[in-house]
Structure 1
């Protein structure tokens, strides 16, 4: 994995760093290890205030131009900045382990933080999740751990994220977890594409190469197995050093002898029994340390939509997440007949699926934003759904981020629309709005990380 970080390589200063970089790193490391010095500073400043000062010192360019302030937020008056926090149970061992992993990546350039973000149309385009991914990976410099899990939405006839391009040949038919009547099996992605065409192929190119490339040397292809399935071929075949199938987990692993930015998936009929092939998703990974952020989103998805996914649990288990973020509830509440009892059962069932797949992962539930039904009626059910999500988090000792209250509560979508943060449907945000939402979540994460590091420094003997 290439890293074009100006002065940092895998979390450590390199030999070409300016002296200020090394000085900042040494001072920061010293503060982490020296309780007396740390507490003396912390009496006057927060951990991240100190860190941020060192951050700017370390990452000032040779032309003395500082990097963007990661805490900077547009001060919109309708946003309740005081409510921007991750509400985490004090006794959460999962979040302690998560923050420790972030520290390992950020300070030592070792290990990997694996994040899975599950949602609906707010995630399928990857504006919200994509910007949050970038904020995490560029704050912890050298932490570009790979692009992660994707689906070739374009082949299914729906909108594709901008950070990877997709082209295909042959005839494919799609199936989604939001369809009322379906005759297909689904995986974690909540969407699948099937072909009976041996001439079918898919090419995927990772196009987002900002700061550090999302090139990869490992590829997991999640697909059907069995005697009726076409054989899977990946090009460039001369770059493959290992192919290993895991039919019980539903994927084939390809390892390459160099970093790649694109692959082509082809199918081969090897005997008369082979008639079809179904794709559930792909995971672009690398052996390098860092942060890998997987996004799963289907337009129109509700909590129950992912309960229809036959391989949700095994696929999620394969990704082995440290942090699972669930951003659902908008479509559940987008109705005039919202049933709280039914909604509670749906939320509870999906959380059981998640616990089964990743029992040790930290989990964050986010509440849906304010919106209007058919551009007219402010949706009163949105606040009820938000309260249920928060209560479920509290009962299950999970964390939550109350975006509904943070964005301004009932009717606040009007204010977001007035400044260009929301679309004219009063349901979705603009790209600018999603990026602002991601920055809010990023700052809330930094606050939580700050609180944890403060406690760690104060508890060290």
Structure 2
């Protein structure tokens, strides 16, 4: 018996009694040996749990199930919205700011970080855009019905574009159908535009990837089905700011200044169906007094040295032809300051070229910041048959600080300027998506979206462009909250996920093919060609 100390009891008859507390009997435990020796240490808690019981514990089974589900989501394309392990990889453009008033851009340059090597696609697998040998078909296949057809009161807003598709379909020599797709953050990440490029090239042929900026003007800048890389140090001036005084931004609304030793690489994709071949590279740059030079390397061998020094500022372009196939194209800056815009990749084969010209944070009126004659010259250089405009997200962020009559006026000015520069090109406006926010504790669509949609449709009719109503195709009022719940919209309730953007691109493609089929069924169409 172990002594636990004295315990005083009640005094009785003036005598103090002292008693001892007995220790309770020792309980027997299964890990105790029958021996009475106490030298062995007591086992830890984990040692006392049998192995079989540990792996059958509910917390362990729950963690294992979560890991299995996460791996399944990575392997199944349809579960992209709920992926956890690769969520950072799939992140599209960063959410754009929603200022209470139109932003004011400053003059200057933004120093860019190193552009990551891009060798993967943010779109789903190639099977989402099947290749159809349309030139061997007597009639157009059924591509499905879009939720909304194109709005074209004249019925002929896209005739020039469709006539070019006919020539491409017949595989006429030099029959390349080029499309310029201007837009905001969605197009910066090649969302919607990437789907349309794959769909059109899968049907009419791969004419090449098209125009790309010299470096990543924004962290979210991305192009599907192409190899891209740029070192850190490029200084970018953009129409969204910081701006350049001369207004020379090139086709994509961005110009890049650099000094000796910077590199930019472009090339074909190494896997998949699209972007596997190229026949020529075209570099666009500015010649000006005291400028440095550009070393051009093709497939590891030096191809040329471009002297960009000239008596006065002048936009120049240099083309480099290569045998059709996989190639790498590299530009290295040398000497003094150089100024570049972008690189074009095309093929000599008849097909479709879809230039993704995204400008993060842009409104459609920002295109008028490009010097007018320079902008017209850039458009004529590309010789497009269709110019697409997909804006509205950032205009909704401006709220009512920018009046709707001004929005209508400036939008029409940009559309008319483009049509005057390239009268042989048609135009298409892809309407803005629904956008939601929390008001009084409830998630609801923003009322200004309906006003913007109405103004976009009105401008398209006034200028003679076709119009696709994305807002109604999504479901109209309240559709964005529903898209978020279904994994088609991001949590910011203003951008789609990759799956949602692919769906919008597919709808636009179906609407274009629906109108193209109607064009081919008109008796007068073939007689007028």
Separation in 2, partners of 1:145, 1:249 = 28
Separation in 2, partners of 1:412, 1:444 = 20
Q: Which string of whole-angstrom CA distances, capped at 9 and with x for unpartnered residues, describes residues 128-178 of structure 1?
A: 1001110111122xx100000111443654432343333333522222221
**Maintained 8 Å contact 1:155/1:166:** no
Q: Which string of whole-angstrom CA distances, capped at 9 and with x for unpartnered residues, describes residues 350-385 of structure 1?
A: 112212321121111121011125795522111111
Give the aligned partner of residue 388 of structure 2: 325
Give the aligned partner of residue 392 of structure 1: 459
Separation in 2, partners of 1:178, 1:208 = 34
**Maintained 8 Å contact 2:131/2:203:** no
Q: Which structure carries more relative contact order (alpha carbon 8 Å, separation 6+)?
A: 1
Q: CA, structure 1 residues 394+457, in 2 after alignment: closer, same or farther (shift >3 Å)?
A: closer
Residue 299 in structure 1 maps to residue 363 in structure 2: no
- Segments of structure 2 that go 5 or more residues without pairing to the other structure are 1-128
Q: Which string of whole-angstrom CA distances, capped at 9 and with x for unpartnered residues, describes residues 8-58 of structure 1?
A: 88x656xxxxxxxxxxx4xx2xxxxxxxxxxxxxxxxxxxxx532xxxxxx
**Maintained 8 Å contact 2:177/2:385:** yes
1:216 to 262, 269, 278: 278
Separation in 1, partners of 2:418, 2:468 = 18
Instruction: Specify the structure having the higher radius of gyration (Cα).
Output: 2
Structure 1 residue 210: Cα displacement: 3.1
Residue 350 in structure 1 maps to residue 428 in structure 2: no
Give the aligned partner of residue 336 of structure 1: 399
1:268 to 334, 342, 361: 334
2:251 to 168, 188, 206: 188
**Maintained 8 Å contact 1:417/1:426:** yes
Q: Which string of whole-angstrom CA distances, capped at 9 and with x for unpartnered residues, describes residues 87-119 of structure 1?
A: 224363x62232122122223454111111110
1:288 to 342, 349, 374: 349
**Maintained 8 Å contact 1:243/1:255:** no
Q: Judge which range, 374-383 or 333-342, deviates more.
A: 374-383
TM-score for the superposition, normalised by structure 2: 0.67
Give the aligned partner of residue 317 of structure 2: 252
Give the aligned partner of residue 405 of structure 1: 472
Q: CA, structure 1 residues 295+134, in 2 after alignment: closer, same or farther (shift >3 Å)?
A: same
Runs ≥4 in structure 1, deviation > 4 angstroms?
Answer: 5-9, 155-158, 180-184, 237-249, 373-377, 457-461
Residue 168 in structure 1 maps to residue 256 in structure 2: no
Give the aligned partner of residue 104 of structure 1: 167
Structure 1 residue 446: Cα displacement: 1.1
Q: Secondary structure at the match of 1:224?
A: strand
Q: Secondary structure at the match of 1:146?
A: coil
Q: Which string of whole-angstrom CA distances, capped at 9 and with x for unpartnered residues, describes residues 271-315 of structure 1?
A: xxxx31122221111222111111100111101221112333221
- Segments of structure 1 that go 5 or more residues without pairing to the other structure are 14-24, 29-49, 53-68, 74-80, 270-274
Paired residues in the alignment total 388
Separation in 2, partners of 1:7, 1:119 = 26
Residue 371 in structure 1 maps to residue 444 in structure 2: no
Q: How does 1:55-204 map to 2 (within 5 A)?
A: 70-71=143-144, 81=147, 84-90=148-154, 92=156, 95-108=158-171, 110=173, 111-140=175-204, 143-154=205-216, 157-169=219-231, 171-179=233-241, 185-195=248-258, 197-204=259-266
Structure 1 residue 460: Cα displacement: 6.0
Q: CA, structure 1 residues 139+162, in 2 after alignment: closer, same or farther (shift >3 Å)?
A: closer
Q: Secondary structure at the match of 2:211?
A: strand
